[in-house]
Amino acid sequence: MVETGWLDTSPKLVEIGIKQEQGFEKSVTERTRNFFLKSGLYINPSKTKIVIPARPTFDPMHRYLDPKIAPYMEKKIFEYMDKGAPADRNTPSFPIFSALSAR
């Protein structure tokens, strides 16, 4: 598995990602008020909840990238077939690619 920063399989991080994607509400308790106050932020006593709006990220990026994925992958595959994988990658070379591209 490749780790990509915070995008790993941690259940807590998946939960955070879902909350960011869908939005959520948080009740303002005394504990919440104290947490914000210690951070230098004052919450008005009449405020009973904090509303975090949805911030869609996956769907918009999927719609944007979807038509580009197949052409990109095809281009990369043909590059590897023609030249082999880039030297900075730890990928094995496949002699069959050289033989096929020589035809």
What number is the average pLDDT over the span 22-29? 94
In the DSSP assignment, the letter for residue 85 is S
Q: Which two tokens stand for residue 82?
A: 């023609």
pTM, two decimals, is 0.47
For residues 52 and 61, what is the distance between their CA atoms, to the nearest angstrom? Answer: 21
Looking at the chain, the whole-number percentage of residues with pLDDT higher than 90 is: 32
Of 58, 78, 59, give the one whose Cα is nearest residue 70.
78
For residues 9 and 11, what is the distance between their CA atoms, to the nearest angstrom? Answer: 6
Q: Where are the chain's structural domains?
A: 25-53, 55-103
What number is the average pLDDT over the span 73-81? 87
What number is the average pLDDT over the span 75-85? 82
Encode pLDDT of 91-101 as tens digits.
555 444 444 44
Q: What pLDDT score was predicted for residue 39?
A: 93
